[in-house]
Structure formats: structure tokens, C-alpha cells
């Protein structure tokens, strides 16, 4: 029961008790006065009638006449004349008429009317005693009307008093509602301040304390966030804006194909600006460095024709452009546009060699190692440099998977038609408590012969065939059906691909699927969105998050690598967890980078869990646990 209800109930009972007591005392006083008045009337009648009877000189007929005259003109129940021996000389008696008074009221009040008496004399001799008892009928009626008036007064003043009491309590305790909202926000690690301080001293001190506590938590997040961004720049970026170093390029490439990549290959572009020294001599050091910035900006800008790209600076004069999922023709077009813009900027001789830009391209497969990839791309670049012209050396690789794109599309279309897309569940383990934190759902595909294809093998061809939406919708229908009829409880998490989220049909279809899912059991479901989607499509991501949370489901961030220059979006979106590849975690641990400490500080301030993904060996698990990350996902969860 809330404090408002407790105080309201107690004060209401107190107020009603006071009003009831006043009404009862008033009514009892009225009854007492009525009895007293009836006795006084009877006493006055007895005194005056006894004097009149004295003049009758014992004549019984005259005595009877006088008594009848008084009895008929007054309100009496009894007039009795007795002689000195107690014998009745004459009496008049009538039953009490209750008029329009309920029987329960008469029993409740039960007025005992006292009898008045006076001696009757004849001369100096007392001849008898006269007794008079008043009729209480009218008194009952008067008391009943008084009782009804008191009840109406009680109801009226009680209602007014309770209404005034409610308004006073509402006004006095209104700061408590704000305190309750602020306390609930604190439990959700939301930074909500109260700027309007309550007038009541105790409430004001509580608000000041809570504001100070929130300020401290927010400061921890801000410190962790800024430290994380600073350490991330030191670890993974170059001086030029928006550029990563080769170390980050290598980690990102490895992460791309460690789990569920949507791309089965891509193109690596290496660009060399070999005339930097001449540019420095001609333009000056600052202008030459500005030219490098412009060169990098051109790589970023011209590569926007592909969805996923990353630009890194390998040496002062060499840049790498990783274009996941790109085709050779797209990469060649990007390179040509970059060269044309540099030539336009600097000018060139007839063969264009004066600009000093050389570019090499290599189309890679998903199963290639980073070292092999880089060696072959450098070979292409070296060809361009040795020719001393703006050469674009391309090495294509048509066999980027074990099936051709047409064969993959046939398999995918057949699986969609026969509804052979299903899912597997993999445990996410909280090693600190030795419990299952979540069950991660991964999509699989089966062919006609019963062969099973994991998500990482068919998703890239599915993206190219534009079948991602159909695949996910089929699996979501299976999930809804099975969870509605079989799986009655448990924690599950389902990751949404970026290409799926960018589909204009996805939001409405997901909204419909959620609306049709009757979650009447103990299912605790979570939907994951990739970090790159949240960073690049902030407005669209916010719509998805609002849909997920308003439907009563949990929300998490997958593929987290702090790609954004500012991670304040964590404060606005409030995910339950962020999933980070083991590659980034182990790299931070090996290099003793403060990046992990600052990330944990920022996450702890918002009560966001950090989950390591792709963990496969006990050595990796031990290193990650020693670093303070205890929730893991990957092959290791099948053996521990």
C-alpha cells in the first residue's frame, strides 16, 4: 500500500471517528435534554394540577373532571390520583403512539420518561398523591428528525472534510510521486534529475541526495565513455580523421568471417601516394598532409556505392579500403574516380603519372586469411608502382564460394518453397554463476538430401539474391508457432541482420508478427540489432528499439566494436547487453589496453552486460574471465 493510501486511510478514520464522536455526543445530549424537558413538563403539570384538585375538597366527580380536562389538553401517558393508603382514586392512561418513527429507532433510543408527583391537600389535610408521566411520542419524532439531520450533516461535512483532506495530502505528498518516478529511473540506470525542489525539508534532502547519486553515476558513464573513445583512437585509429590503422583493419576482417557474415567475400583496395615528398617540397608540409586527408576523404566518399566499407592508413603514404561484399567492377569504379579527382586536383602529364597515385585491387574469398589477402593485394599494388603510371591492377576471383551464385539461389529458393529454413539454439553461459544466461537462436538451411548449411554459408548468397527478408520471415513464423505451443518458458535471443533491417518491409512485418504472438507463458525474449545499423541508421534503429521495448521484449546490441565516435547512444537506447567478438577482447587484453577498462566502466554505469562471442577454447575463456567478462557465447559453451 502506498504512503498516500496509508495516510489517507488513517486520517480518514481519524476524521470520521471525530465526526462520529461529535454526532454521538450531540445526539446523547439531545436525548438527555428531552428526558429532562419531559420531566419538567410533568412536574409543572403535577404541581399546578394538585393545587387545582385541592379546591375540589375531596369530591371525586370534580377531581375526575379536572384530571380529564388536563389529560385531554396535554401530552401525557399517565395521570394518577391515589389516596394516602395507595388506593387509586382516579387515573387516566393511554398507550404511547410512535407516530412515523421506525421500530429500530425506538428500541435504540428507548426513552425512560421519569414520573413526577405532587401531594393533593384539602385545607391543611393531605388527602392523596398525584402522579404525572409525559407522553414521549412527540419526543421520539423530534429525536428521529434530529437524528436524520445529524446524519445528513455528518455525510456532508464528512465528504467535504475528506475531499479537503485528499487535496491537502495530494499537494503535500506530490513530491513523492516525482521521487518514485526518479527512483524507478535510477533502477533502470536512467539519468533523470529533479530541478524543482520540494518545499518540505525531508523531501528536499532526499531529492538532493538522489540528484547527487545520479550525477555520480552519469559522471562515471561520461568518464568511461570519453576514456573509451580516447583509448580507442589511440589503439585503432590514425591521426587523420575517420581513419583506422592496420591493426583495426586486421581485427575487423577476421571478425567479419568468424561468425555470421552477410558477405562471402569482397575487394581490398590498396592506394599509394608515392609523390608525397614532392608534394611536401612543392606545397609545404601542412598542405601535403591536408592533401593526404583529402585523399582519404576521397576513398571514403567514392566507396559509398557499397554498403559496408572501411578505410585504414597503413603507412604515411599508403591507404587500404576494405569493401565487404563488393564486386570487382564496383571497386574498379571507385579507384578510377579517386584517381580522376587527384589528377584534377594536382594536374598531370599525358599519361597521368605526375599525380603519383597507384592503386591495386584484389578480390578475396571469405575463407582467405588476412596475411594471404594482404600479400596478394600488395602484389597488385607493386605492379602499379613499377609501371610508374596510375595503374589499376585487378585480380579477380570468380569462385568465391563452393557454389556459384545461381546454384546458391536455386538452393535458397527450393528451401524457401519447401520451408526448410529452421533454427538451432546455442547456450549463452554466465560463467560466474554457472547458469544459462540466454539461448541464442541461429538460422540454418537444409537441402533435399538432408545436408544442413549454417548461417555463415548461405547468408551472403541470400543477400545477393535478395532473399534475406523471406528467410527471416519464414523462421520468425516457425518461432512464433513453436514458442506458442511448445516452449513455454526460458530466455531466448534472436539477432537481426543489417540487410534485413534496411528492408522497408521488415518493420511492418515484425510489428505484425509481434502483435500475433500471444505470449501468455514465461517466455523472456530478446532481439539483437547490430551496432553498425544503430550507428548508421539512428532514426530507424530508434523505431525498432521502441517497438521491441513497448512489446515487452528485451533489446541487445550485437557485433559491438565501438564504431561510433560517440557511444552516448547507449544511454538513450539502454540495451540489456552488448556482444563483442573475442578478437577485440583478446586484443585489448594482450596489449594491456585501458580500452576494456573504460568500456566496462561505461557499461557498468548503465548496468549493461558485456558478452564475449566466438569463444572456442578454454585458454580464450580463461583470459576473458580474468579480464572481468564472465558471460560468453561460442563453441566453448558446448563443452563447459
- How does 201-219 read in b/e, with b if 16+ C-beta sit within 10 Å? eebeebbeebbeebeebbe
Which has the higher per-residue pLDDT, 116 or 176? Answer: 116
pLDDT over 70 at 255, yes or no = yes
Say what the pLDDT of residue 127 is.
73
pLDDT over 70 at 511, yes or no = yes
Worst-scoring range by mean pLDDT, 221-230, 341-350, 417-426? 341-350
For 275-308, what is each residue's pLDDT tens digit?
776 666 666 777 777 777 777 888 888 877 776 7
Whole-model pTM? Answer: 0.65
**Nearest-5° Cα angle at 149, 143 to 153:** 140
Say what the pLDDT of residue 352 is.
40
Average pLDDT over residues 242-248: 79
Cα–Cα distance measured from residue 425 to residue 62, given in angstroms and rounded to the nearest whole number: 117
Say what the pLDDT of residue 349 is.
45
Say what the pLDDT of residue 571 is.
81
- 632 beta partners: 429, 612
Burial (CB < 10 A; 0-12, 13-18, 19+), residue 164, is exposed
How do 489-495 and 435-446 pair as beta strands? parallel
The pair phi, psi for residue 491, each rounded to 5°, is -105, 125
Q: Taking all residues of the chain, what is their mean pLDDT, rounded to a whole number?
A: 79
Say what the pLDDT of residue 199 is.
64
Domains of the chain, each with CATH number or no CATH: 3-159 (3.30.450), 244-395 (3.30.70.270), 405-638 (3.20.20.450)
For 389-417, what is each residue's pLDDT tens digit?
666 766 655 444 457 778 888 999 999 99
For 324-366, what is each residue's pLDDT tens digit?
877 778 888 888 888 888 777 665 544 444 457 888 888 887 7
Worst-scoring range by mean pLDDT, 108-112, 226-230, 413-417, 469-473? 226-230
- How does 76-88 read in b/e, with b if 16+ C-beta sit within 10 Å? bbbbbbbeeeeee
Q: How confident is the model at residue 518 (pLDDT cuts 50, 70, 90)?
A: low
Average pLDDT over residues 141-160: 82
Worst-scoring range by mean pLDDT, 359-363, 394-398, 459-463, 478-482? 394-398
Amino acid at each position: 500500500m502506498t504512503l498516500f493510501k496509508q495516510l489517507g486511510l488513517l486520517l480518514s478514520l481519524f476524521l470520521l471517528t471525530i465526526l462520529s464522536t461529535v454526532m454521538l455526543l450531540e445526539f446523547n445530549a439531545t436525548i438527555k435534554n428531552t428526558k429532562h424537558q419531559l420531566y419538567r413538563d410533568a412536574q409543572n403539570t403535577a404541581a399546578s394540577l394538585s393545587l387545582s384538585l385541592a379546591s375540589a375538597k375531596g369530591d371525586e366527580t370534580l377531581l375526575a373532571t379536572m384530571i380529564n380536562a388536563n389529560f385531554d389538553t396535554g401530552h401525557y401517558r399517565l395521570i394518577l390520583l391515589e389516596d394516602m393508603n395507595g388506593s387509586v382514586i382516579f387515573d387516566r392512561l393511554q398507550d404511547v403512539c410512535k407516530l412515523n418513527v421506525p421500530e429500530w429507532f425506538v428500541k435504540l433510543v428507548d426513552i425512560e420518561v421519569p414520573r413526577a408527583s405532587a401531594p393533593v391537600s384539602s385545607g391543611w389535610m393531605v388527602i392523596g398523591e398525584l402522579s404525572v408521566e409525559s407522553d414521549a411520542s412527540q419526543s421520539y419524532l423530534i429525536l428521529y428528525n434530529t437524528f436524520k439531520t445529524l446524519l445528513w450533516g455528518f455525510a456532508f461535512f464528512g465528504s467535504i472534510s475528506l475531499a479537503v483532506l485528499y487535496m491537502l495530502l495530494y499537494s503535500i505528498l506530490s513530491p513523492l510521486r516525482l521521487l518514485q518516478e526518479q527512483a524507478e529511473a535510477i533502477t533502470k540506470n536512467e539519468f533523470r534529475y529533479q530541478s524543482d525542489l520540494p518545499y518540505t525539508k525531508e523531501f528536499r534532502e532526499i531529492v538532493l541526495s538522489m540528484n547527487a547519486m545520479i550525477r555520480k553515476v552519469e559522471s562515471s558513464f561520461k568518464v568511461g565513455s570519453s576514456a573509451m573513445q580516447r583509448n580507442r583512437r589511440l589503439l585503432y585509429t590514425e591521426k587523420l580523421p575517420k581513419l583506422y590503422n592496420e591493426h583495426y583493419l586486421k581485427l575487423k576482417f577476421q571478425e567479419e568471417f568468424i561468425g555470421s557474415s552477410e558477405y562471402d567475400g569482397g575487394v581490398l583496395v590498396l592506394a599509394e601516394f608515392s609523390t608525397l615528398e614532392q608534394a611536401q617540397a612543392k606545397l609545404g608540409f601542412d598542405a601535403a598532409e591536408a592533401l593526404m586527408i583529402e585523399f582519404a576523404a576521397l576513398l571514403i566518399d567514392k566507396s559509398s556505392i557499397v554498403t559496408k566499407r572501411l578505410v585504414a592508413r597503413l603507412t604515411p603514404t599508403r591507404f587500404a579500403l576494405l569493401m565487404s561484399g563488393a564486386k570487382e567492377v564496383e571497386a574498379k569504379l571507385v579507384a578510377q574516380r579517386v584517381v580522376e579527382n587527384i589528377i584534377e586536383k594536382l594536374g598531370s602529364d599525358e599519361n597521368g603519372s605526375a599525380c603519383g597515385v597507384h592503386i591495386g585491387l584484389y578480390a578475396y574469398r571469405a575463407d582467405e586469411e588476412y596475411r594471404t589477402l594482404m600479400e596478394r593485394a600488395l602484389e597488385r599494388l607493386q605492379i602499379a608502382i613499377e609501371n610508374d603510371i596510375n595503374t589499376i591492377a585487378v585480380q579477380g576471383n570468380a569462385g568465391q564460394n563452393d557454389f556459384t551464385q545461381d546454384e546458391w539461389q536455386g538452393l535458397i529458393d527450393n528451401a524457401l518453397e519447401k520451408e526448410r529454413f529452421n533454427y538451432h539454439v546455442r547456450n549463452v553461459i554466465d560463467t560466474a554463476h554457472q547458469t544459462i544466461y540466454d539461448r541464442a537462436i541461429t538460422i540454418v538451411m537444409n537441402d533435399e538430401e538432408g545436408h544442413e548449411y549454417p548461417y555463415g554459408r548461405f547468408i551472403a548468397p541470400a543477400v545477393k539474391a535478395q532473399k534475406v527478408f523471406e528467410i527471416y520471415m519464414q523462421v520468425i513464423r516457425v518461432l512464433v508457432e513453436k514458442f506458442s505451443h511448445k516452449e513455454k518458458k526460458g530466455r531466448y535471443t534472436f539477432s537481426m541482420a543489417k540487410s534485413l533491417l534496411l528492408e522497408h518491409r521488415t518493420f511492418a512485418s515484425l510489428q505484425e508478427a509481434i502483435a500475433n504472438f500471444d505470449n501468455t507463458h514465461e517466455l523472456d525474449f530478446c532481439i539483437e540489432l547490430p551496432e553498425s545499423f544503430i550507428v548508421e541508421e539512428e532514426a530507424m534503429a530508434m523505431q525498432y528499439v521502441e517497438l521491441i521495448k513497448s512489446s515487452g521484449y528485451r533489446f541487445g546490441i550485437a557485433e559491438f566494436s565501438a564504431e561510433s565516435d560517440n557511444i552516448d547512444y547507449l544511454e538513450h537506447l539502454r540495451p540489456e547487453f552488448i556482444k563483442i567478438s573475442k578478437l577485440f577482447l583478446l586484443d585489448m587484453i594482450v596489449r594491456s589496453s585501458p580500452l576494456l577498462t573504460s568500456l566496462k566502466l561505461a557499461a557498468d554505469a548503465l548496468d549493461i552486460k558485456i558478452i564475449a562471442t566466438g569463444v572456442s577454447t578454454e585458454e580464450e575463456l580463461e583470459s576473458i574471465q580474468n579480464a572481468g567478462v564472465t558471460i560468453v557465447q561460442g563453441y566453448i559453451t558446448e563443452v563447459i
